[in-house]
Homo-oligomer: A and B are copies of this chain.
Amino acid sequence: MDVKTLCLGVLTEGDRTGYEIKQRFEEAFNHFFGAGFGSIYPALAQLSRDGLVTLREVEQDKRPDKKVYRLTEAGHRALIAELMATPPRHKVRSEFLVLMYFAHLLPPGQIAAIIDAQIAQWEGLRACCAACVADPGKERPLQPGERFAAGYGQVVIEAALAFVRAHRDQLVDEVAASRTGPPASLAAE
């Protein structure tokens, strides 16, 4: 499963340009799948070559032309085949947690700043998930899986926020204490 598959998936919701697909990625998949233009545009080109999508060029005045992509029958079948064949993985790659793990090697002030930045980022993400569920989504019916994925994001990010808020000060204090050094009686190796 790669960006191509997700593009096919987005196109099941209706015809879209590459730019709009990217926006949809950010609205709907932001908390579990990232992709930039650098992967979306080549993916669409490939899908087009493979006959899984068609495109229609639309001229615009005062704007560059845009290419509106549409899923073909073959594309729909390919999407389902790909989904069926996908082993369900779930990976987290967190430089943030690495930094927390090695907090004792960093200045306490920086740890506090890193946590605060992470909190801010998660708050944005949580709002994004909340909007996804709340927003009726312009007449398009909200699919059950959409609600599930966004709901998952909400509760998990909420749990993450609660945890870091609850333990922030303790971690900073402990690191500060271990850096100034424990009482002399315990300082010896």
Residue ranges of A at the interface with B (Cβ–Cβ < 8 Å)? 1, 5-6, 9, 12, 28-29, 31-34, 79-80, 83-84, 86-106, 110, 114, 117-118, 121-122, 143-146, 148-149, 151-152, 155-156, 158-160, 162-164, 167, 170-171, 174-175, 178
Q: Give Cα distance in the complex from A145 to B108, angstroms.
A: 12
Inter-subunit contact A90/B83 (CB<8 Å): no
Q: Closest CB of chain B to A35's CB: distance in Å?
A: 10
Q: Which of B12, B83, B105 touches A79 (beta carbons < 8 Å)?
A: B105
Q: Closest CB of chain B to A161's CB: distance in Å?
A: 10
Inter-subunit contact B89/A9 (CB<8 Å): no
Inter-subunit contact A171/B145 (CB<8 Å): yes
Q: Give Cα distance in the complex from A31 to B160, angstroms.
A: 13
**Given known A110-B84, A156-B160, contact A145–B92 (CB-CB < 8 A):** no
Among A28, A31, A92, the most chain B Cβ lie within 10 Å of the Cβ of A92
Q: Which of B34, B95, B117, B164 touches A152 (beta carbons < 8 Å)?
A: B164
User: For A93, what are the chain B residues with a Cβ–Cβ distance below 8 Å?
Assistant: 32-34, 89-93
Residue of B nearest to A160 (CB): B156
**Given known A145-B175, A160-B152, A167-B148, contact A87–B95 (CB-CB < 8 A):** yes
Inter-subunit contact B105/A94 (CB<8 Å): no
Among A96, A110, A164, the most chain B Cβ lie within 10 Å of the Cβ of A96
Q: Which of B32, B94, B97 touches A97 (beta carbons < 8 Å)?
A: B32
User: For A5, what are the chain B residues with a Cβ–Cβ distance below 8 Å?
Assistant: 98
Q: Give Cα distance in the complex from A83 to B105, angstroms.
A: 8
Given A12-B105, A90-B118: 15 more A-B contacts, CB < 8 Å: A1-B95, A79-B102, A80-B106, A83-B106, A86-B95, A86-B98, A90-B96, A90-B122, A91-B92, A92-B92, A97-B149, A102-B145, A145-B175, A151-B163, A156-B160
